Structure 1
């Protein structure tokens, strides 16, 4: 749907069916080099069509960039509109909080890096105001945490407003190491972009690569070989397994539950060694490529995978049993960090965070990409929306991923196809395309448009962590500050994915 800027809010209400269909993504594009102006794209989930509905508002190249804010209609738009303001200069009238999101104090006012007029290697220095939001009143005080943390973790600043130990409000300042990847991708061919795409996030390498490749492949008439889809599915589920197993242990680090931490780390190591067996590296990079996969998985490797997974399944079951039999631990995680289903829906949350609050959204089922329609697995959900629920969803998803991997291996053994990759031929240009995959944290969406020469004109990356980060500030309210590590780790949100 194409609309004028002043009609964007009304059109968004229609596309979202009055707020019943969540906002999947919202991003800008500079189309001035093609004779157009600036544009805002809104993507909406449409599970009934198993598709994303696309809404576009075009702004004249020399006209105002004002439009009615969508945030009061669709709360999930809040971060997207702040980023659009930073990166392009769009002005959402009526936005409740238009502070900078991505560009911090060291950037000059009026600098909008995703406009075509700004060079990839530009140097910019300046100053802008960035005010942290806090609560004021007698007996209230602030607790600043970060951006530099103890341990190996990326930077993020958290400012708590406290009444005693109770957290009244949390404001999170992120994007400290934003890399400008979407700008860096401009002018590259899809194959040249792969090195960057695989490194958006170490923990979601397969998911990001698969989403991008699907966007590329939709611009071709070629069909990805079936064996390639089997291998891709194996890699995606192996990525989910090593993340979920490791994250289960990491959550327990919030209370110093050392035996479970060690067991999770040990099993994650076993799984990452399997990754290296499959792809030659621990993060499964280089395996998924446009048109298919770069290498096959041989019978000896399949046998090794099954053997290791049998041991991981056994030890993981012991680990979970140890967790649930510790009453003090269960007491700490039950009713802690609650996100209600209505909040999860309003924020368009995805993945474990959404499913722990009662939502059934899972792109493997909803969008049916690849061969997932052929596989027998359940979408695991809980309803309490607390730390305990998010752990239970992970535990259930480990079980389901093990089930999927065994089905895929059975299919690989029966499949005699030798073709692993297909030549995509000439790709369609000046046409928007998207890809989706279910990462360990939820669905990752990539949107792509190629210019007349087949090079990237605009690439937009929306990781699963992006819509889930705002939920953290809601989840902590009313809990005590010692519970923040538990709550934070139960979401296991990624910094690198948003620092794209």
Structure 2
């Protein structure tokens, strides 16, 4: 297995798309690991499956050669009890240090309703020697109304030497909760993984089931999914541009970004009945259509938002202090982005030319034209510029949808799906590439569900961008990635 994965990644230049651990002892007599590699140039996947014996649940670690596997391997150790031999850092990840080492909640025999007793914590952080280094702990409880994350800085003066980031404080066990659920009930869970990525998660899950059942959804439904996915991208990107301005106290940018985001959220509510676009997607298509009057509402709102967003961009990118704070701050190199399989805005801002809408088209993305903005600098400013460019591309895509959308059905029935078949679905959310892997169980229920969000891929990169910057720059760097804690705490 190790040799095959090395060959696919290092020699054939496949990129790690996701890795899934699965307890298949009841259906196949063992645990299984699935390594999914994507070859963007040929638009093909290769999946490497290896079995892990229950009597000796170990497998060779590849995290040294393929750093992107670090979190995946630690997670299967925590949740399934499969031990990666040779892994350089086996600290708890998803389960914190006070969780008993011998209890693994994604095993099929885990007693879901029993309270797990806690033990003395095994948490460790970087140790510093010398009197000049100051440890600065921040979180997990923060001053603002935000999700929990613990950041422990090692600094000399106000210059950062190292950052330990600790997440997964509110891990909800949604993958476990989905097991045994009918597929449509699991869809309900999928779109609640994250508030601001609700539609992306719902579409990814639906596409995984449709792929498993070999279902082609109606063309009109494909266009409608594209429309709503781009509306989700729009309100996030515009809001994120404003949020980054908060990192250096640029009040005009903060308020204008929030105001424009609110206009788009209100548009969502008028069109879809929900500000965050829940309840739109169904297995086999979408739940409702868009009327001619609603088309007009969308286009007129976008015309207004586009004009006002251009004004905000002109103010932001002509402000010397704003540019000074963003340039050369929080740099992520192209090599780091490749090593960690960074996706989305952060990848494209570092010169990594990937966008799953173009590279593995879904919905109606193969029927519209758009550019993928790429910058080389890898700093906060580059990440802002990618978002700005993508806002205008999203508006263009939505206009093309209205020009091209055909009449027809918006949903199709799914066939009966045999047990223990699996499929994948993916979307390019505002944060980046999101992948859902679903194995269907008996009577069309969920047997195993694995979510690899863009946030899961990108969080390990954030600590690499911090050393050499000053403490006050960390909020700015962190906001420029704009990662969801909830997408990890699934």
TM-score of the two chains, using structure 1 as the length reference: 0.96
Q: Is the 8 A contact 1:146 1:156 kept in 2?
A: yes
Q: Which one of 106, 125, 128 corresponds to residue 135 of structure 1?
A: 128
Structure 2: stretches of 5+ with no match in the other structure: none
1:228 and 2:218 matched? no
Alignment partner, residue 10 of structure 1: 3
Alignment partner, residue 473 of structure 1: 463
**Equivalents in 1 of 2:12, 2:472: separation in Å?**
36
Alignment partner, residue 435 of structure 1: 425
Alignment partner, residue 450 of structure 1: 440
RMSD of equivalent CA atoms:
1.2
Aligned partner of residue 255 in structure 1, secondary structure? coil
Q: Is the 8 A contact 1:302 1:409 kept in 2?
A: yes
Q: Is the 8 A contact 1:15 1:55 kept in 2?
A: no
| Deviation of 1:19 (Å) | 7.2
**Equivalents in 2 of 1:375, 1:428: separation in Å?**
34
Aligned partner of residue 449 in structure 2, secondary structure? strand
Q: Which one of 112, 125, 137 corresponds to residue 117 of structure 2?
A: 125
CA distance 1:49–1:427, change in 2 (3 Å) = farther
Q: Which one of 156, 167, 182 corresponds to residue 163 of structure 1?
A: 156
After superposition, where does 1:203-214 map in structure 2 within 5 Å?
A: 203-214=196-207
1:323 and 2:313 matched? no
Structure 1: stretches of 5+ with no match in the other structure: 1-7
After superposition, where does 1:69-84 map in structure 2 within 5 Å?
A: 69-84=61-76
**Equivalents in 1 of 2:250, 2:133: separation in Å?**
31
Q: Is the 8 A contact 1:219 1:428 kept in 2?
A: no
1:64 and 2:65 matched? no
**Equivalents in 2 of 1:297, 1:275: separation in Å?**
12
Alignment partner, residue 274 of structure 2: 281
Q: Which runs of 4+ in 1 moved over 6 A?
A: none
TM-score of the two chains, using structure 2 as the length reference: 0.98
Aligned partner of residue 349 in structure 1, secondary structure? coil
Q: Which one of 407, 417, 440 corresponds to residue 416 of structure 1?
A: 407
**Equivalents in 1 of 2:407, 2:208: separation in Å?**
27
**Equivalents in 2 of 1:440, 1:416: separation in Å?**
28
Q: Is the 8 A contact 1:134 1:142 kept in 2?
A: no
Alignment partner, residue 356 of structure 1: 349
Alignment partner, residue 4 of structure 1: none
Alignment partner, residue 93 of structure 1: 85
**Equivalents in 2 of 1:32, 1:396: separation in Å?**
48
- CA deviation profile, 1:169-209 (whole Å, cap 9, x unmatched): 10011000000000000001110112211100011111111
Alignment partner, residue 381 of structure 2: 388
| Deviation of 1:135 (Å) | 3.3
**Equivalents in 2 of 1:214, 1:145: separation in Å?**
39
- CA deviation profile, 1:319-343 (whole Å, cap 9, x unmatched): 1111111101100100000000011
Moved more, 31-40 or 401-410: 31-40
**Equivalents in 2 of 1:443, 1:51: separation in Å?**
16
Alignment partner, residue 451 of structure 2: 461
Length, aligned pairs only:
489
